[in-house]
């Protein structure tokens, strides 16, 4: 394979956030559609590099590199040995194999993995490592074995510049998609009154500056035979693509969280437009200037424990927002509809359930507050 060959590219989505990821992929120029577990589109290796580098909502990017029929393990072994591995993999790669089987005569995923691993080690000298960043994924469904390469490595929510995180952090990929679902496009202020390690504020600032989310990290595809370092470098931008028309605000009653957010914003290169301060909900004030979006991921139910103080906290949050943030929209992420109701805010019907830290959360949104 070379950089002009087309194949299927699959974007792994956080369950429940497929729709905003599809919207983002289409906006980025990819001919994408929703499929089982994520988003897919035809593309080239350049598209793989660009998807990893530029998309904020994908968890990882898989390259579907080929498929064949296999009715039994001996046939899988034989065809895996004939597969053109060296058209995409370097000689003697360090990798691991992950296999899933569904509705196929080959039903034992462990045995299937062993056959594929043996083919890779004996044919191209691969070395197996359970911690390897390079992953060959085999999906055997209806007797069709499809090979994919995980081109990402570490999950894409790890942007490469955020070192400090708090308890129950909002992943950057999720924060970006919730911002998109709230209609945020980078041209209005955003405020998070319980900012934790700053995910919402930093993502909003990066979107406003049109910074590439993958600019500070490496990717698994850089070790592939198809990688062209010069062509990839031409896709990368070291700084903002535009000036930010707004400022972004985070506050938290926890001084440690505020310090974390400031350091993370500085590493991300957005500290000049992201303001963080130590502040309780009762002391929250509306920033000067135009109205915008308040987005918050407060503590909730199973994540924290005792819900009685949480009801009071949400009531106070809603009261402050109603009294001081006329004209602003609100987005609130929670696993507990009762906590959303406790704010007294005029929420629209909530969004779909989204997997987050073992819980199912939803985004509750308002229109502009009166």
Q: Is the domain covering 7-150 a CATH 3.40.30.10 domain?
A: no
Q: Is the domain covering 172-213+240-365 a CATH 3.40.50.150 domain?
A: yes
Is the pLDDT reported for residue 206 higher than 80?
A: yes
Contacts for 340 with CB less than 8 Å, ≥ 6 apart: 314, 332, 334, 347, 350, 364
DSSP letters for 131-187: T-S-EEEEEEETTEEEEEEE---S-TT--SS-----SSPPPHHHHHHHHHHTT--SS
At what angle are helices 199-209 and 172-181 packed, to 10 degrees? 70
Confidence of residue 165 (pLDDT cuts 50, 70, 90): low
Q: Which residue has the tokens 């949480």?
A: 310
**Tens of pLDDT along 290-340?**
999 999 999 875 544 567 789 999 999 999 999 999 999 999 999 999 999
pTM, full prediction: 0.94
Q: Which two tokens stand for residue 183?
A: 């209609």
Confidence of residue 167 (pLDDT cuts 50, 70, 90): low
* pLDDT number for residue 307: 73
Q: Which two tokens stand for residue 358?
A: 């073992």
Contacts for 199 with CB less than 8 Å, ≥ 6 apart: 169, 170, 171, 172, 175
What is the CA 112 to chain-centroid distance, rounded? 30
Q: Which residue has the tokens 């704010």?
A: 343
Say how far apart CA 287 and CA 281 lie, in whole Å.
14
Beta-carbon count within 10 A of 324 CB: 12
Say how far apart CA 176 and CA 203 lie, in whole Å.
6
**Tens of pLDDT along 262-280?**
999 999 999 999 999 999 9
Confidence of residue 172 (pLDDT cuts 50, 70, 90): very high
Is the pLDDT reported for residue 46 higher than 90?
A: yes
Give the mean pLDDT of 18-39.
96
Is the pLDDT reported for residue 221 higher than 60?
A: yes
DSSP code at position 273: T
Q: Which two tokens stand for residue 322?
A: 């109603």
Q: Which two tokens stand for residue 142?
A: 């209806």
What's the sign of the alpha-carbon dihedral 244, 156, 331, 313?
negative
Say how far apart CA 202 and CA 90 lie, in whole Å.
37
Residues found in the chain: 370
Say how far apart CA 264 and CA 195 lie, in whole Å.
12
Instruction: Report helix, strand or coil for 18.
Output: helix
Domain limits, the chain: 7-150, 172-213+240-365
Instruction: Give the HSE-up count for residue 239: Cα atoms under 13 Å, Cβ half-sphere.
Output: 3
Is the pLDDT reported for residue 95 higher than 90?
A: yes
Is the pLDDT reported for residue 36 higher than 90?
A: no
- Distances 273 to 265, 280, 341, 367 between C-alpha atoms, Å: 9, 22, 33, 25
DSSP letters for 289-354: SS--EEEE----HHHHS--HHHHHHHHHHHHHHHHH-TT-EEEEEES-HHHHHHTT--PPSP---E
By percentage, how much of the chain surpasses pLDDT 90? 88
Give the mean pLDDT of 108-137.
96
Say how far apart CA 42 and CA 31 lie, in whole Å.
7
| Average pLDDT of the chain, as a whole number | 94
């Amino acid at each position: 394979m070379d950089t002009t060959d087309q194949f299927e590219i699959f974007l792994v989505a956080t369950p429940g956030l497929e729709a905003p990821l599809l919207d983002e992929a289409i906006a980025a120029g990819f001919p994408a559609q929703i499929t089982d577990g994520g988003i897919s589109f035809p593309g080239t290796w350049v598209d793989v590099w660009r998807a990893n580098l530029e998309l904020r909502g994908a968890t990882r990017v898989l390259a579907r590199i080929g498929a064949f029929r296999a009715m039994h393990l001996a046939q899988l072994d034989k065809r895996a040995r004939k597969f053109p591995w060296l058209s995409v993999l370097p000689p003697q790669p360090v990798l691991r194999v992950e296999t899933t089987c569904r509705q196929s005569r080959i039903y034992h995923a462990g045995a299937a993995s062993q056959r594929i691993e043996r083919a890779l080690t004996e044919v191209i000298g691969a070395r197996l490592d359970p911690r390897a960043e390079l992953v060959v994924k085999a999906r055997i469904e209806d007797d069709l074995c499809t090979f994919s390469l995980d081109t990402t490595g570490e999950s894409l929510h790890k942007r490469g510049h955020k070192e400090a995180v708090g308890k129950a952090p909002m992943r950057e990929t999720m924060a970006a998609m919730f911002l998109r679902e709230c209609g945020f496009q980078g041209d209005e202020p955003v405020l998070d009154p319980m900012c934790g390690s700053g995910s919402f504020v930093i993502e909003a600032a990066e979107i406003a500056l049109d910074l590439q989310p993958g600019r500070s990290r490496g990717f698994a595809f850089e070790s592939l035979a198809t990688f062209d370092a010069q062509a990839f470098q031409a896709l990368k931008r070291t700084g903002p693509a535009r000036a930010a028309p707004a400022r972004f605000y985070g506050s938290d009653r926890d001084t440690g969280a505020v310090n974390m957010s400031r350091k993370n914003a500085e590493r991300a290169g957005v500290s000049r437009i992201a303001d963080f301060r130590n502040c309780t909900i009762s002391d929250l004030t509306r920033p000067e200037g135009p109205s915008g979006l308040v987005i918050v991921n407060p503590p909730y139910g199973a994540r924290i424990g005792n819900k009685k103080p949480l009801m009071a906290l949400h009531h106070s949050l809603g009261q402050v927002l109603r009294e001081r943030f006329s004209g602003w929209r609100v987005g609130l992420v929670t696993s507990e509809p009762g906590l959303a109701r406790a704010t007294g805010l005029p929420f629209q019907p909530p969004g779909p359930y989204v997997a987050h830290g073992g819980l199912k959360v939803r985004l509750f949104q308002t229109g502009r507050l009166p």
